[in-house]
Amino acid sequence: MFFRLYKYSIFQSVRDKLLLFWNLVFPVVLGTLFHMSFGGYVEEQVIFHQIPVAYAAEKEEEAFGKLLKGLEDDSELLKVQTAEYEKARKLLKEGKVEGIYHVEPDTGDVTLIVAEQGVNQTILNSILEQYQRASATFSKIGRENSAGIPAAAARLEEECRYLKEGSVTDASMNNMMDSFYSLIAMTCLMGATSGLVVASDFKADATSLAARRAVAGASRMGMLLPDLAAKITMQFLYTAFSICYLAFALGIDLGEHWSLMFLTALVGSALGIVIGFLVGVAGKYRYGIKEGLCICIMLVSSFFSGLMFQGMARIVEVYVPVLNQINPATLISKALYSLNIYDNLGPYFHCMGRAAALILALGAAAFLLVRRERYAAV
């Protein structure tokens, strides 16, 4: 009985073209627009890439050459091309390098040549300035106290190693990803409209189908649970499709924990369905009013998670932190963000635990309202 009703509810969901558009097509279109709007900005300005630079020296400047080699091999900050000065100028003009480190053949001084000003050029200039300060410092120590050079070098090496080991995580902390995580959360919460349909088909005073079910003689819960399970399944498939589209079609790096991402999609879909079902069984308002309320809940929740205004979740965390602990969209997007940022799964399971508790609380409230309903004509 359960699986037969479950199958029929799946077929009914597939035939609902309006539901297919909003839950499947619309998130894909919105994700594409997001990617077109600031995907290039993320790629060029947010995600770090090695800085291509040319090194032109007629006589190899040993100390600076070793510095560039270390920045290329160890920290992967630079991508160095050794070339003659004229060839280096050509590479700069063609845009193949961001700058030229040129060693003056007469004095041995190192100069930086750039074609424009930008973040990468500022980094290159900072490297040169630090090298020049270190060279001046070691020259002064050598003149005044040559025995102190090894200690100064050891201190400098210790500071560099400290900076390297102080990294919190190896993951890419890309703030622009908040919008895509919030988009996935919104897709999950779009299931609220499906939950509302389940409630309308269950309340005998709402639709003719619900009235026929009420007099069918079968268990009401036996008809309700397969319908809820089918709607959760379909919403999960819609969300999983959106995740795969963002990752594979648009090339957005959502992380590597695919199984946990799909688990998040399942929990988020169940949360959206339960929210809609609770709205549907509460009160005797018209379907249009309840549908508007479901959409309002979805949009407001998505807004506070950062979908419309990037960084909104962080603002809420500062001024009203309790809201982030109960906001469905924030819990879903924060769980996805945790998978890509933190080295441990503690923050992720914290968010998932709160989402599961929210499902249980809202579900219990909805079923309590359902059990208290009585129809005089049945």
Q: Is the dihedral of CA 198, 201, 202, 206 positive or negative?
A: positive
Instruction: Tell whether 275 and 198 lie within a shared domain.
Output: yes
Residues 199 and 143 in one domain: no
* Residue that is last in its domain, among 131, 165, 199: 165
Instruction: Determine the angle formed by the axes of helices 2-15 and 220-244, rounding to 10 degrees.
Output: 50
Closest CA to 103 of 146, 139, 67, 77: 67
* Mean pLDDT score of the chain: 83
- Kindly tell me if the per-residue pLDDT of 167 is higher than 80: no
Kindly report, residue by residue over 175-221, the tens digit of the pLDDT: 678 889 999 999 999 999 999 999 988 876 666 666 666 656 567 78
Least confident of 3-17, 54-68, 277-291, 359-373: 54-68
309-346 confidence digits (pLDDT tens): 878 988 999 999 999 999 999 999 999 999 988 888 99
Report which of 329, 375, 15, 371 is spatially closest to residue 197, judged by C-alpha positions: 15
Which of 113, 146, 165 is the last residue in one of the domains? 165
Q: How many domains does the chain have?
A: 2
Write out the two tokens for 59. 């006589």
Question: What is the C-alpha separation between 320 and 305, in angstroms, rounded?
Answer: 13
161, part of any domain: yes
Are 218 and 378 contacting, i.e. CB atoms less than 8 angstroms apart?
no
Q: Is residue 34 part of a domain?
A: yes
Partnered with residue 55 across adjacent β-strands are 82, 101
What is the predicted pLDDT for the residue at 145?
66
73 and 90 part of one domain: yes
211 lies in the same domain as 280: yes
CATH for 95: 3.40.190
Token digits for 32? 């594409």
Residue 142 shares a structural domain with residue 22: no
Residue 186 sits in the same domain as residue 326: yes
CB 340 within 8 A of CB 260: no
Find the domain containing 100 and state its range: 50-165
Q: Which amino acid is at 269?
A: S
Distance CA 278, CA 195 (A): 8
Residue where one domain finishes, among candidates 128, 143, 165: 165
Q: Are residues 350 and 311 in the same domain?
A: yes
Domain for residue 378, yes or no? no
Tell me, what amino acid is at 339? Answer: L
Whether residues 273 and 299 share a domain: the answer is yes
Compute the distance between CA of residue 14 and CA of residue 308 in angstroms, rounded to an integer. Answer: 29
Instruction: Give pTM, 2 decimals.
Output: 0.71
Let me know whether 207 and 336 are in one domain.
yes
Beta strand pairing status for 110-113 and 99-103? antiparallel
